[in-house]
Amino acid sequence: MKQTIAKGLFDILPYLDEGDFRYTHYYRYVEEIIHQVAFLYQYSEIRTPVFEKTEVFARSVGTTSDIVTKEMYTFEDKGKRSLSLRPEGTASVIRSFVEKSLDQRSKNNKLYYISPMFRYERPQKGRYRQHHQFGVEAIGNGSAEQDVEVIDLLLTLYEKLGLKNLNLMINTVGDKESRDSFRKEFVSYLIPLKEKLSEDSKVRLEKNPLRILDSKDKQDQELLKNAPLLQEHLTSSAKENFEELKALLKSFSIPFVVNNNLVRGLDYYNKTVFEVTAEALGAHISIGGGGRYDGLISTFGGPDLPAIGFGTGIERIIQTMIAQEAPFPEEKGPKYFFIPLEKEAKTFCFSLVHELRKKGISCEIDLKAKKIKNSLQQANTLKAESVVIIGSEELKKKVAVIKNMNTREQIEVPFDKLIETMEK
Ligand code: HAM
């Protein structure tokens, strides 16, 4: 029986199916632009393991969050340790930052990663059980300028990739003091309405009431219309930070909307949170999001440093690019594609290919060449710049036929001049 892939997963292939995002070349292109933009903003790459001790995620993302309670791939290893596949990047980066005392290496650690993430979610378009994320974490600077740098970096990436019709939503979830004061009033407002809340929100009322704010349930949303506002409970420092952020965004002409219900599904956020949605995927699907998490580092046993970051899904970026017809560069093919039509020619061509590759010239050879038509088709599929044809005639004359696949121009080159000509 043919083995098949597990639910919610997919392969990324070196072949393009029109309209499909699962094409290695697309991923490599997006990743290349990510590395360029990260360099532009001076972020350094960090690579952490694909799995961590479960508590790394549970304690930071939040023991009541959907990610930890429903979506984590958790398993016991042979030593009976509980481990989890990484559902998101921030917790791992902070674990490493604290464990490796990165604050001693630099006053301002600006880190980024491109990594697979694993979440046991109901698969649908744009939602998979393994997805890839580009994320940044800027640690050590609590200013609104740092918030803007992070948001600006994300938007610059989207712009360079040709994405359009983006919607930046921002909000502040306040500092701990603001949230504590809001929570009391919010819970008192909701308790008499408890029976009318959705099942999820009933549970959240007990465990994490703030998450009710971004409930997608219609009835919940109706009930929230008259609820007290977190914005009215902000401490002066949280308010000031948010006002500064808005003023800076305006001064850079970065369009945004304030969405007071944006709280995001991870427990570590405080003050600034933001999300970017793209029209092509439907307004409710975010392509990127993040926020500040000033208290998190100390809960990992590290120094009390402020930090902010985001994550953006590479699948959702590519899907949006396809839907919006953003251009991808053509995939490059080999410079030469050899078609030896004789056994003797094959040996000769194979040694030429060997020599050219050593000289840094990419080439391919059809070792099974039989019919020239089929080999030319293969050269076309590979997008070879030129083909080199050697059959019995050419062997006799000691020349090779080099045909440019774009111009269709054809030249004959004597064997002793071949390498020299091909190197040009
Ligand atoms: P997040 O909003 O959970 O944030 O995920 C970030 C992005 O990853 C989403 O906007 C989406 O593009 C993509 N994504 C999430 N889940 C899936 C999925 N199942 N399938 C496909 N794409 C998905 C975080 O993970 C935070 N760590 C971001 C952050 C970094 N906040 C501060 N620093």
Domain span(s) for CATH 3.40.50.800 in the chain: 336-422
C-alpha closest to that of 119 among 66, 81, 82, 83: 66
97 and 297 in contact (C-beta within 8 Å)? yes
294 lines ligand 1 (CB under 6 A): no
pLDDT tens readout for residues 255-313? 999 998 898 878 889 999 999 999 876 555 789 999 999 989 999 999 999 999 999 99
Ligand 1 atom 20: residue of nearest CA: 127
* Ligand 1 pocket residue status of 132, Cβ below 6 Å: no
DSSP β-bridge partners for residue 232: none
Ligand 1 centre distance from Cα of residue 121 (Å): 12
Angle at 345 between CA 340 and CA 349, to 5 degrees: 70
CATH class label, 24-175+235-323:
alpha beta
228 secondary structure, DSSP code: P
Query: Dihedrals φ, ψ of 153, to 5°?
Result: -60, -45
Residue 68 per-residue DSSP state: I
Instruction: Give, for ligand 1, the residue of 21, 88, 110 to mutate: max count of ligand atoms closer than 8 Å to Cβ.
Output: 88
- Residue spans of alpha helices (H) in 143-262: 144-160, 176-190, 199-207, 218-224, 236-251
288 lines ligand 1 (CB under 6 A): yes
| pLDDT, mean over the chain | 94
Which stretches in the chain have pLDDT values below 50? none
Is the Cβ atom of 62 under 6 angstroms away from ligand 1? no
Helix or strand or coil: residue 76? strand
> What Å distances lie between residue 148 and 68, 234, 235, 270, 326, CA to CA?
29, 20, 21, 16, 26
CATH of domain 336-422: 3.40.50.800
Q: Is 0.75 topped by the overall pTM?
A: yes
- pLDDT tens digits for 30-89? 999 999 999 999 999 999 999 999 999 998 888 878 888 889 999 999 999 999 999 999
Instruction: Please report, for residues 16, 152, 260, 262, the alpha-carbon distance to residue 284 in angstroms, rounded to integers and kept in the order given.
Output: 28, 22, 15, 12
The pLDDT of residue 284 is 58
Nearest Cα neighbor of 57 from 46, 45, 73, 34 is 73
pLDDT at site 271: 94
Contact 89 CB / ligand 1 (< 6 Å): yes
Q: Is the CB of 214 under 6 A from ligand 1?
A: no
Region(s) of the chain under CATH 3.30.930.10: 24-175+235-323
Instruction: List the residue whose alpha carbon is closest to atom 30 of ligand 1.
Output: 310
Question: How far, in Å, is the centroid of ligand 1 from the Cα of 234?
Answer: 26
What pLDDT sits at residue 207?
86
Torsion of CA 277, 282, 284, 286, to 10 degrees: -30
**Best probe residue, ligand 1, of 117, 121, 287 (max atoms within 8 Å of C-beta):** 117
Q: For ligand 1, is residue 313 a contact (CB within 6 Å)?
A: yes
Q: What are phi and psi of 290, to 5 degrees?
A: -175, -160
For residue 111, give the nearest of 56, 42, 31 by alpha carbon. Answer: 42
